[in-house]
Amino acid sequence: MKFTSFGLTAALAASVSGMPHSTRDAYSYAGPSSPAARILLGNSGNIYVADFYPGRENFTLFSAEIVGGNSWMAFAPPNLLYVVDENAAAVRRFKLDQKALKSDFKTLNLTDALGEPLPKNASAGVVHLEFNSDKTRLVGSAYLNGTVDVWNVENGGLELIKTIKSDGKLGPNKIRQNAPHPHQANLDPSGRYFAVNDLGTDSVLIIDSK
């Protein structure tokens, strides 16, 4: 897996995205029909699944208490959920039982996948996860550590392949750009390359997903 980088204007590099936070009491609706959409939500100490029903004003919310700073999640069908714990510099893997979401109990059934309860060490401050097109690789952008983690997730695994250091020239803002800050990885339209924007260096890292 190779990578390179090129410059980007500060205005473009500053775009951000976040995951909404919620509480259990914010949503309530129990309906028999299947939801039109299912949304993952996370915050410190909890992971949620919110079911959306067209024409309804509310969501049905299922929750699980998961210790740690659940800063980002990536779901691999049919049942694997990869979760960043930014407080512990770790990535965890769970099985998500979607059949149980049809019950009247609003508890989210998450179990440690493949008998491996311990989290895998990752770079500090991972704020985004992204799969390649066939979901055999998972890329984590570590804003705090200034690195990009590449994981092998083939056949539901979770093994760190390499950690790529972002070492471009820092941008002009001495406060905000005091270090490299990879923020998000996205696949290009061909599905071959990851583009990772670095808010600290005003650059984009290009990583070959193969």
Name the 3-class secondary structure at 32.
Answer: coil
Report the number of distinct structural domains present in the chain: 1
- CA–CA gap between residue 27 and residue 62 (Å, rounded): 10
Closest Cα to residue 101, out of 46, 152, 163, 30?
30
- CA–CA gap between residue 171 and residue 201 (Å, rounded): 5
Distance, first Cα to last Cα, the chain = 6
- Per-residue HEC secondary structure of 82-123 comes to EEEECCCCEEEEEEECCHHHHCCCCECCEEEHHHCCCCEECC
Kindly state the percentage of the chain with pLDDT values over 90: 44
Kindly state the percentage of the chain with pLDDT values over 70: 77
Kindly report the average pLDDT of the chain as a whole number.
79
Res 13: pLDDT: 26
Q: Tell me which residue range forms the domain holding 130.
A: 3-208
Split at pLDDT 50, 70, 90, the class of 162 is: very high
Res 39: pLDDT: 86
**CATH code for the domain in which residue 21 is found:** 2.130.10.10
Per residue in 100-113, pLDDT tens?
776 555 666 777 65
| Region 23-40 average pLDDT | 56
| Region 52-75 average pLDDT | 83
Q: Which residue has the higher pLDDT, 144 or 31?
A: 144
Split at pLDDT 50, 70, 90, the class of 140 is: very high
Find which of 26-35, 36-45, 90-99, 168-177 is predicted with most confidence, using mean pLDDT.
168-177
Res 29: pLDDT: 38
